[in-house]
Chains A and B, each alone.
Chain A
């Protein structure tokens, strides 16, 4: 990201304390995927390319923005771009999608959307993020995959 920060002074939210994950002793246990797992997947990394802070600290993704239904193999993430006109909204959404795609079992259906009223071109961003053909085109573009991978690099803070 060569360009300067679009929002150099974001509000930083405090990270919530969470229960530690207990590892299953039996490998054959079918462990249902719950909210905790989605948090772990999303919050272990910094995936906002503008800010080397975690998405949670920036308030981009909050607990309330994640819905998971393991029975139906369904996750919906509602995120809030750091600014109303944040040009990175699509990229942040793509990173969230790629992260979940790489981490969740393939049976999962994932919807990603910006929070209602949080972005100037909400409908257009949502449509792009949920068109799997467009997403697959992006994932065949090495330059864009590099950018996404960079955004998905863990931030050991």
Chain B
């Protein structure tokens, strides 16, 4: 990174209040924060609503709540995700449904509802092309949906394999390979091996592979997609790597392997980890703290491969459920907490 670690500091840009229950998750709209378009993100909560927040002007430190999406989900909204074009927002709820929202003339309209899971949907994610959605549930299954013209959505595959509730689904940033993590302590890798939606589990990363020893809560990839980081109730972050993304794009699957374990940093469940395009890992946990890690370029054999850049104790008054880097040239970090607030941070050096 070449940055002087000692001089790095984390500044609180703004605290956003509005949700009346814990904030579970948030997602930045990828089509904002550049080309003169102010940043925008959505947050979702135990208060059954989704809120959309917009930066007043690009590079401004003020955010305003532009919309409250309510009266659609009847229970906690657990997860939300913008399509790559930024035009559609998907929201997953404990009410067993996933809703698709479209911004029509400044108003968000629910244009489709995805039903099928037996119970609570916990996570939703778009693939890089924006034509596939994945969802996962307490019913232990992972569903893949195809989004067609006119927002018609069709389930193309139901993936069984996890033995407990599935906490998060995440598509690879460049390939149509899906990753899921679970209360069963494993991460599963799913790929379409045949010609027609023949999705199969191609790898399971568990304890025998130096994997996690308790619930895995989140997954994030580095920009090039050859590394993945996972966070867990076992109080560790684990970094995994694979080879030859180019070959894999042609349909060959190369397995992932454990690279290193970051341990001894958080002392309660690590609910969220997110890798910035610049290579900075941010993690948020039930210990109310946010931590930042960078690749340890000077590491020799046996040295830690990542080093702590900064720690922020008491970033929130309660558990931190989600941390997400914004798009744009100078990314901001947003964190969502059980304390009902979202905070926006700037990492300055």
Contact = CB atoms under 8 A, between A and B. Distances in A.
A140 B339 CA distance: 18
Main SS class of interface, B: loop
B333 to A, nearest CB: 22
Nearest to B74: A140
B75 A109 contact: no
A131 B217 CA distance: 11
A133 B75 contact: no
Contact of A137 (B120, B233, B286, B318): B120
A75 to B, nearest CB: 13
A132 B319 contact: yes
B318 A107 contact: yes
A106 B339 contact: yes
A134 B164 CA distance: 12
B180 to A, nearest CB: 15
Interface string B204-217: 00000000001100
Nearest to B22: A136
B135 to A, nearest CB: 15
Interface string B244-276: 000000000000000000000000100000000
Contacts of A134: 165, 183
Nearest to A132: B319
A136 B122 contact: no
A131 B215 contact: yes
A137 B94 contact: yes
Contact of A109 (B78, B122, B286): B286
Contact of A140 (B22, B76, B214, B338): B76
B203 to A, nearest CB: 24
A136 B319 contact: no
B138 interface: yes
Interface in B75-114: 75-76, 78, 94
Contact of B167 (A107, A133, A140): A133
B317 interface: yes
Interface residues of A, number: 12
Contacts of B183: 127, 131, 134
Contact of B317 (A106, A127, A136, A137): A106
Contacts of A107: 317-318
A131 B167 CA distance: 11
A136 B167 CA distance: 14
Contacts of A133: 78, 122, 167
Contacts of B317: 106-107
B46 interface: yes
A133 B215 CA distance: 11
A118 B345 CA distance: 46
B318 A106 contact: yes
A144 to B, nearest CB: 13
Interface string B316-327: 011100000000
B214 A127 contact: yes
A33 to B, nearest CB: 16
Interface string B120-155: 101000000000000000100000000000000000
Contacts of B78: 133
Contacts of B167: 133
Contacts of B138: 137
A140 B286 contact: no
A45 B123 CA distance: 38
A140 B215 contact: no
Contacts of A132: 286, 319
Nearest to A123: B214
Contacts of B165: 134
B76 A136 contact: yes
A41 B199 CA distance: 51
A100 to B, nearest CB: 15
A122 to B, nearest CB: 14
Given A106-B339, A133-B122, A140 B318 contact: no
Interface in B329-343: 338-339
B334 to A, nearest CB: 20
A106 B319 CA distance: 10
Contacts of B22: 136
7 contacts: A106-B318, A106-B339, A107-B318, A134-B165, A136-B76, A137-B120, A140-B94
Interface of A: 106-107, 109, 127, 130-134, 136-137, 140
Given A127-B214, A130-B233, 11 more contacts: A106-B338, A107-B317, A109-B268, A132-B319, A133-B78, A133-B122, A134-B183, A136-B94, A137-B138, A140-B75, A140-B94
Would you list the 8 A-B pairs with minimal beta carbon distance, nearest first?
Answer: A140-B75, A137-B120, A140-B94, A106-B318, A107-B317, A137-B94, A140-B76, A131-B215
